[in-house]
């Protein structure tokens, strides 16, 4: 594996490029770009010069911690400042979220969990796991061209809908930021679970993400940081294993210091100065480098 040769560009997204490995269909090279994005809105995309490097450090150390715990991931090893080697995956189009504290879209759906300003947020024990369908331009199309969902309006925040009943065979899609009692919450669309899951189970993904949260929060707690929540994606490897894939970096979670000040991507969403955001990404990357696996 030491003569690893970069093959063709397989996929390019907003924050990463995926390359084939010459002569090795089981692996891909993931290369970070310097972009930082928010709200699924291209006009909101910005850059800073160290973003790829800090994200690559964070993701690599996180996945090394998970691999050491025996949690299945697609990560193999860091290759350079901005690249890592991963198992090639067919991605499962879900955003799987685990929450230790009630924040963000959870509070929009469940406003009864909001607390008064200055109060600590509501803490979940056990943590809450939620599944969102990962849609693009208001829809989801299978590899074989089958339309699984369509006509969701990104302008109305209907993208990446909340799956109300992930353990059932036919999923009901709900607006991710509207209380479930309100008529506007009902997107009046269903999706056949099996077509999305392709054999993966809700139980195995739930168990993997809870173990991930517990592993990372134990590390962050030692350094007086609070892991509020976390988003991950799963993939299926060519030998048919369901693993945590894509990346887990400072864009994937809400991470707060002891005073509940954000040190993760929330500060970018909130419109903070780029130099301050860069400092936060640097701080988190430096912290991850102390993980010593």
Ligand X SMILES: Nc1ncnc2c1ncn2[C@@H]1O[C@H](COP(=O)(O)OP(=O)(O)OP(=O)(O)O)[C@@H](O)[C@H]1O
For tokens 């809450």, what's the residue?
128
Among 18, 200, 227, 244, the residue binding ligand X under the rule CB under 6 A is 18
- The DSSP secondary structure of 125-140, one letter per residue, reads EEEEEEEEE--BTTBE
Q: Please, is 13 exposed, middle or buried when counting C-beta atoms within 10 Å of its C-beta (0-12, 13-18, 19+)? A: exposed
- Residue 135 engages ligand X in binding (rule: CB under 6 A): no
Strand 242-245 versus strand 226-237 pairing type: antiparallel
From the list 8-16, 113-121, 151-159, 284-292, the region that binds ligand X by CB under 6 A is 8-16
- The DSSP secondary structure of 100-122, one letter per residue, reads EE--THHHHH-GGG---TTSPPP
Q: Closest distance between ligand X and the C-beta of residue 80, in Å?
A: 16
Total interface residues for ligand X by CB under 6 A: 16
Site mask for ligand X (CB under 6 A), range 61-100, x = bound: -------------x-----------x-xx-x---------
- Residue 28 engages ligand X in binding (rule: CB under 6 A): yes
- Residue 14 engages ligand X in binding (rule: CB under 6 A): yes
Do residues 153 and 138 touch, judged by C-beta distance below 8 A?
A: yes
Do residues 288 and 255 touch, judged by C-beta distance below 8 A?
A: no
Among 56, 59, 212, 245, the residue binding ligand X under the rule CB under 6 A is 245
Q: What whole-number distance in Å separates Cα of residue 62 and Cα of residue 67?
A: 9
When CB distances to ligand X are compared, the closest residue is 13
Distance between first and last Cα of the chain: 21
- Residue 51 engages ligand X in binding (rule: CB under 6 A): no
- Residue 59 engages ligand X in binding (rule: CB under 6 A): no
- Residue 16 engages ligand X in binding (rule: CB under 6 A): yes
Query: What part of residues 202-241 is at the interface with ligand X (CB under 6 A)?
Result: 235
| Residues that bind ligand X in the complex, under the rule CB under 6 A | 11, 13-16, 18, 28, 30, 74, 86, 88-89, 91, 235, 245-246
């Amino acid at each position: 594996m030491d003569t690893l040769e970069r093959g063709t560009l397989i996929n390019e997204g907003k924050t990463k490029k995926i390359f084939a490995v010459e002569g090795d269909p089981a692996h891909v090279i993931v290369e970070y770009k310097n972009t930082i994005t928010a709200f699924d809105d291209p006009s909101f995309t910005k850059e800073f010069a160290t973003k790829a490097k800090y994200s690559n450090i964070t993701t690599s150390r996180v996945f090394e911690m998970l691999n050491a715990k025996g949690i299945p991931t697609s990560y193999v090893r860091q290759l350079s400042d901005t690249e890592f080697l991963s198992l090639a995956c067919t991605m499962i189009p879900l955003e799987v979220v685990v929450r230790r504290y009630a924040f963000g879209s959870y509070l929009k759906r469940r406003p009864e969990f909001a607390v008064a300003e200055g109060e600590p947020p509501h803490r979940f024990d056990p943590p809450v796991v939620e599944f969102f369908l990962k849609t693009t331009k208001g829809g989801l199309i299978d590899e074989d061209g089958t339309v699984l969902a369509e006509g969701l309006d990104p302008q109305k925040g209907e993208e990446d809908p909340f799956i109300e009943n992930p353990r059932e065979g036919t999923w009901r899609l709900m607006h991710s930021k509207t209380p479930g009692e309100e008529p506007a919450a009902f997107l009046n669309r269903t999706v056949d679970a099996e077509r999305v899951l392709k054999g993966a189970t809700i139980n195995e993904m739930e168990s993997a993400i809870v173990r991930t949260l517990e592993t990372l929060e134990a590390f962050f707690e030692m350094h007086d940081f609070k892991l509020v929540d976390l988003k991950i994606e799963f993939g299926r490897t060519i030998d048919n294993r369901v693993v945590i894939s894509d990346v887990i970096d400072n864009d994937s979670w809400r991470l707060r210091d002891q005073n509940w000040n954000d040190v993760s991507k929330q500060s970018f969403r909130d419109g903070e100065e780029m130099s301050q955001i860069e400092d936060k990404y640097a701080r988190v990357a430096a912290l991850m480098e102390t993980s010593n696996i």
